[in-house]
Chain A
């Protein structure tokens, strides 16, 4: 279908975009890459009266190495992330995840910030941001504000951002030598919305897991961590006993919501499959490093 009618302004600066947002409130939508917004418009799921196109604000684009973090500008495209040597070195999890985002033509246009602000519970970037414990930087009429990933995703397509704020970018902690990252998801076809997905961050102390973070997508109305299971993993080697323990713990801890084709029980089962696969992979990688 065709999009409904709307007014359109190409913002020249963040300040101009902010003043339009203040004026129009929730009648306005920010247009970044448009790869979620335009399908929603085409299907008439959203009918804003004004689109504020921030696509020309170059200050919001690009990947920068800071002293203790990697900063990813809101307008950085998925393809930019896929191609970035800085990302490969300092945030390798994103490299593992990016291929799961739709298809090349979408990745060429869709943006990091758009995905984070849209807060789709089945999207890859919110899940990665959460497992990396990143920080979201937003700007409103009162200035800049930093929001921890753990506090950012508040509900289905809902975030801690106010209606008059714009996402400027995110900061991710730099990967360490003892870090291991994994990402996997299950979808009916490549590029489809995932039924379940898992981003994993393990920090090793020798052969033993020192700390673990597991972040899930597609299970509930927001991406979410499984902190009880994470705590159980600390101090454990990744042997068969640990895998059994993690499976049992996840069955207790996770409470996935059914979607149109999959029951909560199916999703819970698939989640344990993903956890076992990634932990097995992590163990094999660590052993090959040691050998």
Chain B
């Protein structure tokens, strides 16, 4: 008996109007309706972090957010990161440090790391580990990921000091 709900939202700067069932998760809207497959589905109950996306500038779990809750909001996925300098720096650093193997967790890692770079530019290694602890990686053992994020923080601190 659930009727479709009409929602309007911006995804990576593009306006969209969609008719969605209330039960639809944001990540399923992004992947299946809008064709943005970069946000991944892992556990579907908020534990693994693979579906992490930005809503109004803050990361959330795409599987613990209903599409209807994103009505009127600005959503950003990993596909929308390519034009952002701090996201580019993170991507390059991940490559340099071999911070990915299969790559399944990487979009969520990048989303989480970008909010850290923006909100906690002087985070210690321990704080980076804590911040990134909501994103699971089954390949790397995390050290390379933490190294990659720490390097970007260090670079940015050097730049801002110069």
Contacts and interface: CB of A to CB of B under 8 A. Distances in A.
Interface residues of B, number: 33
- Main secondary structure, interface of A, reads loop
Question: Chain A, interface size: which category?
Answer: 20 to 34
B74 interface: no
A8 B68 contact: yes
Contacts of B61: 35, 105-106, 109
B9 to A, nearest CB: 14
B34 interface: no
A3 B49 contact: no
B115 A104 contact: yes
Nearest to B56: A108
Given A1-B44, A6-B22, A190-B130, A109 B65 contact: yes
Interface string B100-136: 0000000000001001100000000000001101110
B60 interface: yes
A132 B162 CA distance: 46
A102 B134 contact: yes
Interface in B59-95: 59-61, 63-66, 68-69, 71
Interface of A: 1-8, 10, 31, 34-35, 38-39, 41-43, 51, 53, 55, 79, 99, 102-106, 108-109, 189-191
Given A8-B5, A8-B66, 11 more contacts: A5-B23, A6-B23, A34-B64, A38-B45, A39-B46, A42-B64, A103-B133, A104-B115, A104-B116, A106-B64, A108-B60
19 contacts: A1-B45, A2-B44, A3-B25, A5-B23, A6-B2, A7-B1, A10-B68, A31-B66, A34-B69, A39-B46, A42-B63, A55-B69, A102-B46, A103-B49, A104-B59, A104-B115, A105-B49, A108-B58, A108-B60
